[in-house]
Structure 1
Amino acid sequence: MNNFTHHEGALVLFSGGQDSTTCLAWALSRYQRVETIGFDYGQRHAIELSMRPDLLAGMRTLSPQWQERLGEDHMIDLSLISQLSSTAMTEDIAIEMQENGLPNTFVPGRNLMFMTVAATLAYRRGLTVLVGGMCETDFSGYPDCRDDTMKALQVALNLGMATRLKLETPLMWINKAQTWLLAEQLGGSALVETIRADTHTCYLGERGQLHPWGHGCGSCPACTLRARGYEQYRNGEFSINPAA
């Protein structure tokens, strides 16, 4: 685990999934004060929200440092999002591609709103870093997960609030196999097992059977990425070694 620590405080966008849990571990290894924020936007897979408290409690047990650094959790009602758009993430409809080339799991404006609300809370809480699990290596082409979007948003937020917030996206340039590896580097096999057994990624909200890679339907895009990444991780199939 990297013991180099920044004295700044960080707010992690924490959904209860694999990526956000890895990002939380990443922040806990770097910042002396870490808080979390989650959003209820009417998502189909809301099971991840019910799992968040136990998952946060479990993260505290993995390291005395993490226990000391992990602070308050904030749950925000953003049900407005589900009222504004009809997507496979908020309604019981089949997952498919749209005419614009994006899957209908894309929720327009979601990450933009998430980051704006998180920045507002960070302002009030005196936190100077926002950490999100956005990635444009293994992703579905969502435009609000791209590095250019996050850089532009950081500029806009700081101009609009006269702040110097940093938006950190530690997973931006790594794939799912490397994300599993990063978790191992940050918290050892205990963190890998916590992510495997206690996080939730499945778009359909399936919990049920515990597969080698975790819980889920096994067929939706999120499960497919997670399962393939775990297999590559277990087989040592990654091209770079992401720094922890």
Structure 2
Amino acid sequence: MKLMLQSFEFTTAKISDTGQISYFEKQGKYLDVELDANTVLTLVLASTETLASEDNTQPSFLIGKYPITQKQWYKVMKSFQYGGNLGFKKPVMASWVDAMEFCDRLSHKEGKEYRLPTEAEWEIACRAGSKTIFSFGNILTPDLASFGKDSSITGIRYKTTSEPIMNVGMFPPNDFGIHDMHGNIWEWCLETQPNPYPGLRPIRGGAYYSPAESCGCSSQGSFRYRHKFGVVAIVAKVSRAASKNRKAASGLF
């Protein structure tokens, strides 16, 4: 039996270089994976067929609508990670090693491949077709993400939020319908290139304490693999033939 993608509507945002935010209605595709009767992992289609750039040479794929939450982590791993006492809607903070283990266990549980996104996939999912510094535009404000206080991009000093790690989904999604790609927590990526610095693994997206320039779509970083950052799961590449055909794309498995 094939699992079918469903359509959903959402409101995304764009910001002008002067800071004016406009909101737009968009439509995307998603798949809900039931981890148990009360816990769902929602995956969103990052459709590279719609991208008029070099990005569309890569297959489309499904990626988490939000960073993996404490509740989702617990349902798969049967344990809490750092920040578990902050609530089930908080993004999990896990080491790269534990993030890989989470994806392995989820793959075994569901019988499908789940893994961390590569840096290229993470950036495609973050940009959602945009060519600006952030998916929303060339500046970032506290209406769009949780990030730190100093920014040479915005030219404004913002105060760090009083609640450092925020619940997932508190800010508008990008044009694919994916939330929290800028700020709040750094996110681990899959290592795909030979690493000249043993022990380091790639991270993207910035955190609540990061300046805006560290939260951009192309901003890169790395940290020791046992440090605790956020996790985004990816599953099931979509073939180019299927992603060109909406009916075919709805039957991924």
Q: Same fold (TM over 0.5)?
A: no
Q: Which has the higher contact order (CA 8 A, sep 6+)?
A: 2
Higher strand share: 2
Scaled by the length of structure 2, the TM-score of the pair is: 0.29
Scaled by the length of structure 1, the TM-score of the pair is: 0.30
Higher helix share: 1
